[in-house]
Amino acid sequence: MSRTAERILKGVLHLLFITPFVALLAGAFMGKLGANPVEVLTHETGEWALRLLILVLMVTPLRKLTGWNWMVRQRRMIGLYGFFYVVCHLTTYVWLDQFFDLETIFEDIVKRPYITVGFSAFLLLIPLAATSNNAMVKRLGARRWRALHRAAYVAALLGVVHFLWLVKADLREPLVYASVLGVFLCARLPWRTMLDKRKANALKSASN
């Protein structure tokens, strides 16, 4: 893919990822989010956060499957947008739902498991967002940086658990996210890498 095409793609992705936030903001100001706008804001920002976190994890398996290296160069932007929606999700809860009542918020984190795992996911994502620039890659070293950013798998898993425990009746939607995440986590398991290496060695031996 040419540099011009990548710039256009990057602009399209920026527009795609920011549009839900703008739409929610506009809907809130115009009173078009229904009878419980706080619930809508919380749900939508949470879902977008989960979608983007899972999309980040899908980049490497999809690149291996398709050979599209340009996907890797967009991964950082996708991850930062995912963190942005996580922050929006948490802000909605802290500000619009609890009105900065720190005592109640702390009690919720301790007593409600779905909030505990959700908050844990947020804490895991903070160092990932803070080290997402090239300067931090150089400072930490590529190996340590990659090891740190493997926490994204744990954060996404906690996000799915948060959604599953939050939903009390219809589990279909969170189970879809769980299934997608499960497939791509399986694609990253060590046995998968070993099979790929064996396959490559077999092909090399056959060509010789």
- Domain assignment present for residue 207? The answer is no
Q: Among residues of the chain, what percentage have pLDDT more than 90? A: 64
| pLDDT (0 to 100) of residue 71 | 79
Burial per residue of 49-88, b for 16 or more beta-carbon CB atoms within 10 angstroms, e otherwise: bbbbbbbbbbbebbeeeeeeeebeebbebbbbbbbbbbbb
Q: Is residue 202 part of a domain?
A: no
Residue with more model confidence, 189 or 148: 148
pLDDT tens per residue across span 128-145: 999 998 899 999 998 999
Within a 13 Å sphere around the CA of 103, how many CA atoms are in the beta-carbon half?
0
- The proportion of the chain whose per-residue pLDDT surpasses 70, expressed as a percent, equals 89
Task: Give me the domain span that covers residue 110.
Answer: 3-194
Q: Which of 48, 68, 72, 198 is nearest to 146 (CA)?
A: 72
Residue-wise pLDDT for 83-116, tens only, equals 999 999 999 999 999 999 999 999 999 999 999 9
Query: pLDDT tens for residues 150-175?
Result: 899 999 999 999 999 998 777 888 89
Flag whether pLDDT at 67 surpasses 90: no
Counting the structural domains of the chain, the total is 1
Task: Tell me the pLDDT tens digit for each residue of 173-189.
Answer: 889 999 988 887 776 66
Residue 203 belongs to some domain of the structure: no
Looking at the domain assignment, is residue 205 inside a domain?
no
**Does pLDDT of 192 surpass 60?**
no
Q: What local confidence, expressed as pLDDT, does residue 139 receive?
A: 92
List Cβ<8 Å contacts ≥24 apart for 97-105.
97/38, 97/42
In a domain, 55, yes or no: yes
Give a yes or no: residue 158 inside a domain.
yes
* Domain-located, residue 148: yes
Helix (H, G, I), strand (E, B) or coil at 112: coil
Q: Does residue 1 have a pLDDT over 90?
A: no
Answer whether 120's CB lies under 8 Å from 109's CB.
no
| Residue labelled with tokens 């999700």 | 89
Given a contact cutoff of 8 angstroms between Cβ atoms, the answer to whether 145 and 131 are in contact is: yes
The pLDDT value recorded for residue 82 is 96
Q: Is residue 206 part of a domain?
A: no
**pLDDT category, 196, cuts 50, 70, 90?**
low
- pLDDT > 90? residue 22: yes
